[in-house]
Every structure is written in C-alpha cells, then in structure tokens.
Structure 1
Amino acid sequence: MKNLIVLSRSAPPEVCGMSDYCYNVALQLQTYYDKVELGVALLPMNLTQKGGPIIEHWETLLDRALSSNTPHDIMLNYTPTAYQSFGMPISLLKRLKRLKKENKSNRIYVLIHELWNNSIDLKIHHKILNSLYSISGKSILKMADDVAAFTADQKNLISTIKPGKEVHRSIIGTNIIPNECHMAFKHVRKPGQWVVFGLPHTRLWTIDKFKNILYDCHKSGFIHQLIAIGPIDTKYSQQELNIANTIFGKGVLIQTGPLFGNDITDYFLTSEVALVGQNADSLSKSGSFASLAAHGVPVVCEVPLTLVDPPGKYIIRPDELKHELKSGSISEKSQALYDWFWKNRSWEAIGKDFNSWMNP
C-alpha cells in the first residue's frame, strides 16, 4: 500500500462544496491506504484535527512527499482557481513534475470539478484569464495517470486533451442525510407538503419551470404548502415569492431561510414531493438531488425514462405526477430511488468507486 495526498481548495469547517466533498472522499480512502493526508490551498479558520486525515497546506505535504522514499498517490481536485487566484499555480505544477520524475511509483490522479470556459463571447480580461486556466489545466491533465469528471461535457473536453485515455465518471454524494439511513420510511409524510431546495435563483427557476403543473395541482387540492429551503436574502428570493403568490395566492410558499442539516432532514422526512429543475446531465452532479434521494423524498424532474444515472425510472416526470399521487404509486418510486442512493451514492460507495480506478 501507498500513502495518499488529497489536494483541495480548503477543508471543513470552511463552507465550500468541493472542499467538503474532498474531505469525505479522503475519509473513505483511509481504508485503502497506509496514510491519507489532505493538502489545502486555504487552511480553514478554527481547524480542529479530530480523527480523519491530517490537514496541512499542500506545499508542506508535497515537499514532504518529495523528500520521502515512500511512494505517494496524489489526488488533485481541480477547479481553475483552486490553487492560485489567476489560474496559473506555477509552484504546484513544478512540484507535481518533480514527483513524477523523482519516483516512478508516484502517481497523479485528477478529479475535475470545474473546467475553463471555451465560449467565444468572453470579454477581453476574461479571455486572458481563461487562457491561463486552459494552459495550466491542460498541463495538469497531461501529467495525470488517470482522470475523473462529473459530467459528460467535462469528459468530452478532457478526451480531446488526452485522446484514447479513459475518463472515469465520478459520483456526487451529500452530507445532508438522515442520522440513520432507515429513518426515511419511519416518518409520516404530510399530504400537500411539497419542498424545493437550493439557492434562490435555482428555486426561482424551478418554480417558474413547473408553474403550470403547480397551478394545476394546487387547484386540484394536492398542494397545501411549498417549503422553500435555502437563503432568502437576494432579489431572486423576492421574485420566487412573487411568482409563487401569482400561482397559488399568498401563504402557500414558506421560505425557511438557510437551515442546519438536522432541520433540513426534518422537512425532507415529512414532505410528500420535491421539485428539481435540473436537466439530466446536471442531475448527476447535484448534491441537492442526492440529499433528497437519501431521505426517500419522491422527486419530480423532467428527465428521460431511459436515464441510467440517476435512474430515470425512479424519478417522476411532471406529466405523471397527478396520476402517481392519485394511485399511491409515488411511494414505490421513492423507495426505489432511496435504495439506489444508499447502494450507489453513500460515501462508502463513493470511496469504493474511487479505489476501483485508482487501485485497479
């Protein structure tokens, strides 16, 4: 076995989706390595080292690895500005090249969270920054022994940089889960309590997308409350309230503001339906969707029945919703989606997936 260094922008308790993901993956990969450490560009304030991987600045950990005879695997979690604000982390590139050169047993794995923007409509200063992102990103990808990404678009772009090399599809998890996985079906769901979860602009877009079915279901008596969970301090949250009042009248939309995990769980365990406005490709990268599936909430989303990951057959399409509610078959799909999550998207499952291609 080897040592593993996971590189990330930061770590908990810093609020950062990528950093949170990296920390949880590092925890799981401790099963497969002698030693796992987390190297970050930004050390979080109030850092407490209580179990789990040791967290230090990435330069410290890579320098230690360079002076060691022990083989190291490096798992670099990539976004264009994670390690340098202008997207050109020269010191990181130099250390990675030395690691590859000085010990042939050292391996570099790259997990793509975000890539540069290839749009031709960028303003001049954005084009300059984007060129830096592209140069450094391509250099990192070319050094990588293996690469993983979350979306099909990311995989397609990487394949043009590393032709003939398999790009693995990585899995999104969530930290918003029930305290015990079997809790989801021990709670009584409240008829007519629906939920929409996420940032204000996402919730607004979702409600607007489903406004016709929302109006119809409210008129038919299927909706009594729509719980909107997430921040409410932007213009989008006011627009969300305005459009909901137009659809339902006043008093149906309840905006909770940001909540802690246990409070979110309480709503998820009692809601009858959840609305998700994403498309099929982005759904696979959605932590919000994963958290709903983890709680067994019936999910309404416009995705094809043939979708494999996540399985479209367990997701309710808007035109099926009224029939599912009337027939009671909605609970069968939510149970199947819940089972799928715990088998395929739990942190333990994600750790096994990483190990399957990092240590085949």
Structure 2
Amino acid sequence: MLDIPVGNWADLLITNGTAPTDLLLHFTPASYARTGLPIRLVRAVRRFRKSNPLNRLFILVHEAWSDELAIRPHHLARNRMARWSAGRMGQLADGVTVMTIGQQTQLTQLLGGRLVVKMGTVGANVLPSEPEQGFLSQRQPGVWATFGMAHTRLWAMQAHKELLQSLFERGHLTSLLAIGPVDNTYADQEAAFAQQAFGPGKLVQLGALSPGDVSKHLLSVEAAVIRQDADSLPKSGSFASLASHGVPVICDAPDGLVQPPHGGFFLPREVMADPALLLNDEGVVRRRLLHDWFWSTRSWQTIGRDMHTWMAGADNQQSAANQLVAQLY
C-alpha cells in the first residue's frame, strides 16, 4: 500500500525532508489567493524545487483563466493575475495535466511547448456499490433529479424549463429532486424559480446528503437534467456520478462530442416527443454507452494507473517537448 501524505500545501512544503519528493499540486489560482495571484505558493514551490534537485512537481490544473474579452474589469484583472501565476507554476513543473481541451490549448501556448500538457480525467466521489447496480435497481417513473451545487442546479432548470413544464403538465413528471447544498442565495433562487415555473411542491430540495444516500437516489430516479457543454462535461464530478449509476442524462450535448460519447445522452427535444425513451430498450443502450464510458475511463483504478504512467514518464515527456521546440525553432 502506497502511503501518500495529504495536507495543507504550506505545511507539506515546509516539512519536506531531505529525501527526493514528488509533489502533486491541485491548482486553482483563486483557491490559494482570492486575487488569483498566489505569491506565497509560487515562492514556496520555488524553494521546494531548490531544496533538492531531485524533487519533482506535478500540477493538476482544475481551473485556469478566461480569455473572454466581454467581462467586467475586475474579472479581467483577476484573469491576468491567474494567467501569470499559472505561467510561473508551469515553468517550475515537471508535468502539467488539465481537465479540458480549452485549458490544454491555453497552457500549451503559455508554456511555449516546454511541456507536453496532458489531458487529465475527473472521477466521481459518489459511486454505486457495484458497477452494474444502476441497471439492476428499480427506477421510479416521474421522479427526476438535479445534482450538484445550487447554481448549477438552477442553471439546469432554467435551461430545461420548457421540457420540465411540459412533462409536469402532461403527468409524465411528478417531482424533481434537488440533491446538493441549499444554504445559499442560489438555492433560494432555485426554489423560487421552481415555484413560479412548475408550481408548488414540484421541487424537493433534499440538501447535502451522504455519498450513500446520494447513491440511493441516483439508483432510483428516472432521469437527471444537467446543463453542461463540451468543455465542462469532462471535469464535472456530478456528471461522472450520474454516468456511473446508469442514470439517463438529459442534456443538450453538442453534436460531434466524443468524450463523453454524444450517443449516450438524451436530448431534451427527444424526451419531449417521447418520454418513454428514457427507460425503453433504446434508452438502455444509451445509458449503457455512457455508463461503460465512465467505468472504462473514469474509475479511480483507471485514473490511478493513468496518473502513475504520467508521473513515471515525466522525464520522457520533457525530452519530447524539448525535441518539439528544437524542431519548431
């Protein structure tokens, strides 16, 4: 069994001993400094690298920065600071892995080809006890779910308002379970929106539940609605949990989507026309496609093997990146 210490970054870096150490850093600039400019972190990591030439740094970038121009001035300033900090950390790293294609493009350009920026994978914190359980459980007709943080649940309801209203009115949908935190203004907005759009008693806010209780609901609901795009789906842990449980996932997935497979989703217009699609034979084929994609690419065992291979091959990646830069120049 591999013993990996986990703790506050400052404590771990300060207590680093003399033996060569590999550091895996989960990096989101604003998590280390509200401004997006984590000077203390950059300095501490620089000291870590200098303390032993055999120390190695691997960075998992969960959030980077936005290149959109149509944002507020303070967001623009924060993005610039986040970009600077990501660049400094990338220059110190032996390996960088990201969650989206957009992030991969950003970091590759920012680092000038110094490293091969790897596409990472996000697992699920809520899993069934057995992979096949989602196809053995009894699903409740008319009971759907939204799962995640309150703002993402609100956005999902707003995006699928027409579908939800229609199915409530037609009797195909009886209740919508909101699984996740309810202690903020977004949760209040969620409740108010559902009251106005669907009527009283249609939305049931369950709050933050234990993983076991969440799993029970994901094994029993008829479907779940989400609002995600090609960039956000690969890094969504809540979506990964839905896929792992074989839940029919209703989403306007973009055409041509490969990872995850477009054919595993239920488009809103399809469900509007034929709600029975969710659990009929064709629906099972779709659920199976998304479910098998998860277990073959997103299980923790698969992620562990992938991370080990990535970190073990860091020296070869550096050599390949150097050769690429030499060819370009």
2:50 to 93, 98, 108: 98
Counterpart of 2:189, as a letter, is Q
1:226 Cα deviation from its structure 2 partner: 0.8
Match of 2:25 among 55, 76, 80: 76
Residue number in structure 1 paired with 2:12 = 58
* Greater RCO (CA < 8 Å, at least 6 residues apart): 2
The match for 1:150 is 99
- 1:172–1:285: 8 Å Cα contact kept in structure 2? yes
Counterpart for residue 318 of structure 2: none
Deviation per CA, 1:15-70: give whole Å up to 9, x if none: xxxxxxxxxxxx9xx3xxxx63335237xxxxxxxxxxxxxx222443x0xx22xx
Q: Given the alignment of the two structures, is residue 358 of structure 1 paired with residue 307 of structure 2, yes or no?
A: no
Which residue number in structure 2 is paired with residue 259 of structure 1? 209
Q: What is the root-mean-square deviation in Å for CA atoms of aligned residues? A: 2.5
* Partner residue of 1:302 out of 252, 256, 259: 252
Decide whether the 8 Å contact of 1:150 with 1:170 is kept in 2.
yes
Alpha-carbon offset, residue 162 of structure 1: 1.9
2:157 aligned partner, one-letter code: I
SS at match of 2:138: coil
SS in 2 for 1:254: strand
Counterpart residue number, 1:36: 4
Contact in 2 for aligned 1:88/1:132 (Cα 8 Å): no
Distance in 2 (alpha carbons) for counterparts of 1:171 and 1:189: 29
User: Which of 178, 184, 187 matches 1:228?
Assistant: 178
The Cα shift of 1:247 comes to 3.2
Q: Which amino acid aligns with 1:58?
A: L
Tell me the distance in 2 between the aligned counterparts of 1:330 and 1:201: 28
Residue ranges of structure 1 left out of the alignment (5+ in a row)? 1-26, 43-56
Whole-Å separation in 2 of the counterparts to 1:79 and 1:303: 26
- Is 1:273 the counterpart of 2:241 in the alignment? no
1:88 alignment counterpart? 39
1:339 aligns with 2:292: yes
Superposition TM-score, scaled by structure 2 size: 0.83
By percentage of residues, which structure has more helix?
A: 2
Secondary structure in structure 2 of the residue aligned to 1:37:
coil
Q: Which amino acid aligns with 1:256?
A: L
Distance 1:263 1:76 in 2: 30
Is the Cα–Cα contact under 8 Å of residues 49 and 55 in structure 2 kept in the other structure? no
For residues 338 and 72 of structure 1, what CA distance do their matches in structure 2 show? Answer: 37
Shift of 1:334: 1.4
Q: Larger deviation: 236-245 or 152-161?
A: 236-245
Q: Distance in 2 between matches of 1:315 and 1:125?
A: 34
Counterpart of 1:349, as a letter, is T
Paired AA for residue 37 in structure 1: P
Per the normalisation by structure 1, the TM-score is 0.77
- CA distance in 2 between counterparts of 1:310 and 1:154 reads 17
Aligned counterparts of 2:257 and 2:273: Cα–Cα separation in 1? 21
Number of matched pairs? 305
Unaligned 5+ runs, structure 2: 314-329
**Deviations for 1:55-108, whole angstroms, at most 9, x for unmatched residues?**
xx222443x0xx22xx43332221214456651025413324315xx43x4432
Identity %: 34
Taking structure 1 as reference, are residues 126 and 339 closer, same or farther at Cα in structure 2, changes over 3 Å only?
closer
Which position in structure 2 is the counterpart of 1:7? none
- How far the C-alpha of 1:238 sits from its partner, in A, is 2.9
